[in-house]
A and B are shown apart, each in its own frame.
Chain A
Amino acid sequence: MRQPRVGSPGVAVSTLLQAIVNGLMTGSVYALLALSIALIFKTMDTVNFATASMGAFCAFLFFQVGTVLGLGWGAGLAVAAAGAVVLGWAVERGIVRPLGSGDLFRLVLATMGLDIVLNNATQIFFGSGVQNINAPLPSGGLNVGGVNVDLARLVILGVAVAGAVVLALVLRYTNLGVGMRAYAQDPQAATLMGVPARTVSRWTWIISSLLGLIAAIMVASVSVLSVGFLQGTFISAFTAAVLGGLSSLPGAVAGGFVLGVLEALSIAYAPRAVTIALPVLIILVVLMIRPAGLFGRLSATRA
C-alpha cells in the first residue's frame, strides 16, 4: 500500500482521530480523579487538595504489599483499598468534622496542610525512589482503521467507566447515595428529614478516597510510582472538575474527557507551551466566563 503523503487528507484525519482516541484514554483517568474531587465538593462544599497525596499513599501501599512483599495483586489491592477507607475515614473524623462547616476556606487550607504531611510521610515510609508496578495489563495495541489503540490504556478506560457507573448506581439506588444527594442539595433540610449527616460526610470521604486510589493505580500502571507522581494528574483532574462545574458529577466525567481530548489535540497541533499551560488557561477562562462550568450550578455563597 502506498504511504499517504504527509499533509494529505488521509493523514490529517488519522492524526486527528488518533489524538481524539489518545485523549479519551487519558481523559478517563482525569474523569475518575475529577469525580473524587467533585464528590467532595458537591457534598462538603470544599476542595480536597490532598486528593493526590491520599491516592498516591495508597498506591504505594498496593505496591509494597503486592510487589515488594510479593503477596500478589489481589492482596495488594485489598490492603490498598483498606488503607484508602481508613485514610478517608481518618481525614473526615480528624480534620473535617472538628473544623466544622462554618468556614470552607479553612478546610481547604487544612487539606493543603494534610497534603504536605502525606507527601512527606510517603517519602519517609516508601523512600524517594521511582518504582515500576509492572501491572498485568495487555501490551500492544489494536489497529482500527489506521488508529492505534493501546490495549493497556483501553483496559484503564474500561475501569474508569466502570468506576463512574458504579458510583452513579450507588448514588441513585442505595439509601446512602440518596442521602448523599439530598445532603448535597440542602444539608439542613436533609438532616431534618433524617439523613444522618455524619454518615454521609464519612462515606463521602471514604468513597472519594477509593476513587483516588483507583486513579492512582491506573496512572502508576502506565507510568511510574514515585512521591508526588499524581500531582500533575491532580491538576488536570481538578481542571476537569472546574470545567464540569465542580459540583456536578456528570460534569466532572465530561470535563475529564474533554480535557483529555483537548490536551491530546494540543500535543498534536500546538506548541509545547500551550500544552503545558492548557489546564491553567482552561481554569482561568472557565472562571472568568462561566464560573458554574459546563454543568454546575453556582450557589450564592460561592459566587
Chain B
Amino acid sequence: MSAPDTRQEAATRPGGRSPIALLRRLPGRDVLVALLAILVVLALSGSLTGYQAYVVTVVVIFTIIGASHTLLFGAAGQPSVGHAALLGAGVYAGIAVSRHTTFGMEGEFVAAIVVGALIGVVIGLPSLRIGSLYLAIATLALCIVAQQIFFEWTDLTGGGAGTQVSPPKLFGAVYTPLGLLYIALVVMGIALLFARNLLRGRQGRAWNAVRTSPLAASSLGISLGWQKVGAFGVSGAMVGCAGVLYAHAVNYVSPSDFSLELSIVTLVIAIIGGQRYLWGAALGAIFVEGLPEMLRTAGEFRYVIYGAVFVVVMIFFPEGFAGGIAALWRRFGPRRSAPPPGPVELEPTATLVEAELARSVAAEPAPAAAAERGGVGLTVRDVRVEFGGVTAVDGVTLDVAPGTVVGLVGPNGAGKTTLLNAVSGFVPVTGGEIRVGEHLLAPRRPAQRRALGVGRTFQNLSLHEGMTVLEHLLIGQHAVAGYGPVGQLFRMPAYVRGERLLRQNALETAELLGLADLVDERVENLAYGVQKRVDVARAVVARPRLLLLDEPAAGLTPDEGDDLVGRVLVHSRHVGATVVLVEHNIELVMRVADRVVALNFGRVIADDVPDVVRRQDDFVEAYLGG
C-alpha cells in the first residue's frame, strides 16, 4: 500500500541492474506474484480429495473476507465486528436468487454484491458519529441483530434448522467441489485485483489519511463520512461475494453460522495476517481456516492453540505475519538504495530566502493581479468562538485582500489558532460570519472548504504515520486529482494520466521546499524540521487560494524557520495565493507580511502595515510586556 511506484523509483534511482531490480521495474509485479500463487494452487488442485478441495475453497473465501478488512480496517481504520452479518447477507441474497430465479451464481453474485454493499453501508453509518472502539461496539450490536433477523426469517433461512443450498451452477453448468474451487480462485483474483487498485492511488491514500490523521484529511477536502461509509460499502460488497461462495462450499447454512464469533474470526484473519497487506489476508486465512483442519489430530485443543497463537501474535507481531515478513525483507532483503537510517537533516538555503525577504519588503502587493492568478480574499466579521464559558475569539473583524500575506500575531491564548480553526471549520463559530471570496463558510463542513481553495498547515504537525513524503504530497492533491474511484478501480486512462500529473506536481513541490531527496522516506523517520516542511508542502501542493499557516516556524531554529517560511512565500506569491501567517517569531512576521493583525484576549488590538503596528502602544504592551 505504501510501496512507491516502480516507475517513480526507476526515475529517481538509476542504477541497480540485478534481476530483482529489473523485476521491480516491471509494472504490476504484485499481480504477477499473485497470479503465480493462484497457478500453483491450480496445479496442485488436481490431486486434491473432495474434502481437501473444500478446505482450500474455505481458505480462499476467508482470504476475500480478510482482504475486505484490509481495506476497511487496515487502510480506513474502521474496525468492524459485524462481518458475519455481511457474510449472511451475501449467503441469503444468493439463496434467494437461486430459489426464485433461473439464474445461477452469475445472478447470485450480483445480488450478493448489491445487498452486501447496502448492509455494509448500514453497518458503517455509526462511524459518522463515533470513534473506533465505540464503532466496534456498534457493529457488534448490529451483528447480533442481523443474526436474530436470520433466525426469525424462517421462509428464507429455515430458522434454527437451517437450509440446504442448491449445487453451484454458473451459466447453466453445474460444478463439483473442485470446480467451485476454481470459481472461488477466479473470484478471489478479481476481488484482490480490485482491492489493490483501490488501495493504490487517490482512494487508498484518502483512506490511509482518514485513519492516520482525520483532522488533516478533512483539511485536504477528504470527507471523513463518505470515506468511512464508502469503505464499509466496498468491504460489504467483497464479503457479499464471498457469501455466495461460502453457501455453495458448505452446502448447508444455518443462522447460527453467522455468529459474533465468526465476525471476530474474520477480523482475526486480517490482523494476524497483517491488516496493512492484502496478501496478509491470505496468510491469515491459511492460519485460521487451514491450520485447524490440518491440526485435526490436535482434537478439541486446536481452538485453544489458535486462540493462544493469536494472542501471542498480537503481542509480538503487531503488524501480523505479513508485517513481520515485510520487516525481515526490509532488513535482510536486497537493498533498493543506501537508505539513510535515522533522522535526516536539511541545510537551509539562505540565498533563496534572503532573496524572497528582500523582495517582499521592497515589493508593493498587487491585489488585482493576484486575484487573476487565483488568490482569494478572507473576510472575518464579528466572529466569536466560545468554549463553555471561555471566549477564545471575541468579536474579531479583519480583511485579508487577495494575494496578500497577513501576519496574525499575539501572545499565547490570544485566539490565533482558534481563529484559523474557525476558518477551517474545526471549531463552531458562535457569532459573526466568515467569508472566503463571496462564499459564506458557515454551512460548509471542513472537507467542503477545500473546494473554496482553503488550505492549511498544523501547528503540532498532523502527518500520516507510515506514509512517505511523496505520498503526503499526493494526498495533498486529493481534491484536484482529476479521477474518481471508478476510474481507479478499472485503471482507466484518466487514472494513469491523473497519477502522472499528480506525481509531477508533487515532485515539483518537493523540489521547491527542499524535499526532493527525501520523497521516498517515511515521515516518522524524518527530523522535526523536515516533518514541518512536509506538513507545509502537503498544504501548498494543490495550490490553495487561501493558505493558513499555523506557526510554521515553531520549534525550528531561526534559520530553519526563515528558510521554510521564505520558501512557502516564494511559492504562494508565485501562484498568487493569499496567506494568513500565524507566527510567534515577530521579527519574521514583520519582515514578510504585507499587513499585521495583532490579537490579545480574542480581540484585535492592532491591524496595519508592519511598521505602524510595531510602534503601536497596546501592541508593544501586550506583546513585549510594556
Contact = CB atoms under 8 A, between A and B. Distances in A.
A and B interact physically: yes
Q: Is the interface of A mostly helix, strand, loop or mixed?
A: helix
Best-surrounded residue of A112, A242, A283 (most CB of chain B within 10 A): A112
A123 interface: yes
Nearest to A45: B133
B22 interface: no
Given A109-B268, A116-B261, A283-B137, A124 B152 contact: no
A288 B311 contact: no
Interface string B129-155: 111111011100110110010001000
A113 B311 contact: yes
Contact of B129 (A46, A116, A291): A291
Best-surrounded residue of B137, B144, B145 (most CB of chain A within 10 A): B137
Contacts of B136: 105, 108
A123 B129 contact: no
B311 A273 contact: no
Interface string B229-269: 00000000000000000000000000000000100100110
A117 B271 CA distance: 17
A288 B133 contact: no
Contact of A120 (B126, B148, B264, B307): B307
A279 interface: yes
A110 B315 contact: yes
A277 B271 CA distance: 29
A123 B307 CA distance: 14
A291 B126 CA distance: 11
Given A280-B141, A280-B142, A114 B133 contact: no
B304 interface: yes
Contact of B318 (A103, A113, A276): A103
Contacts of A123: 300
B268 A105 contact: no
Contacts of A238: 137
B387 interface: no
A235 interface: yes
Nearest to B303: A120
B144 A303 contact: no
A99 interface: yes
Q: Is the interface of B mostly helix, strand, loop or mixed?
A: helix
Given A109-B314, A117-B304, A117-B311, A279 B133 contact: no
A99 B315 contact: yes
B310 interface: yes
Interface string A229-272: 00000010010001000000000000000000000000000000
B311 A235 contact: no
Contacts of A235: 144
Contacts of B145: 277, 280-281
A206 to B, nearest CB: 19
A110 B134 contact: no
A105 B137 contact: no
A302 interface: yes
B226 interface: no
B268 A291 contact: no
A99 B129 contact: no
A197 interface: no
Nearest to A49: B264
B307 A105 contact: no
A114 B136 CA distance: 17
Contacts of B307: 113-117, 120
Given A108-B136, A116-B303, A117-B308, A288 B141 contact: no
Nearest to B138: A287
A106 interface: yes
B329 interface: no
A109 B271 contact: yes
A148 B304 CA distance: 45
A279 B136 CA distance: 15
B304 A303 contact: no
A291 B130 contact: yes
Nearest to B259: A231
Contacts of B126: 284, 287-288
A26 B136 CA distance: 26
Interface of A: 46-47, 95, 98-99, 103-106, 108-110, 112-117, 120-121, 123-124, 235, 238, 242, 273, 276-277, 279-281, 283-284, 287-288, 291, 301-303
12 contacts: A99-B315, A105-B133, A108-B133, A109-B267, A116-B306, A117-B308, A280-B144, A284-B141, A287-B129, A287-B137, A301-B131, A302-B133
Sorted nearest first, the 6 A-B pairs with minimum C-beta distance are A117-B307, A116-B307, A113-B310, A280-B141, A283-B141, A120-B303
Given A99-B315, A105-B136, A113-B314, 17 more contacts: A99-B314, A112-B268, A113-B311, A116-B306, A117-B304, A120-B300, A124-B301, A235-B144, A283-B137, A283-B141, A284-B142, A287-B134, A287-B137, A291-B129, A291-B130, A291-B134, A302-B134
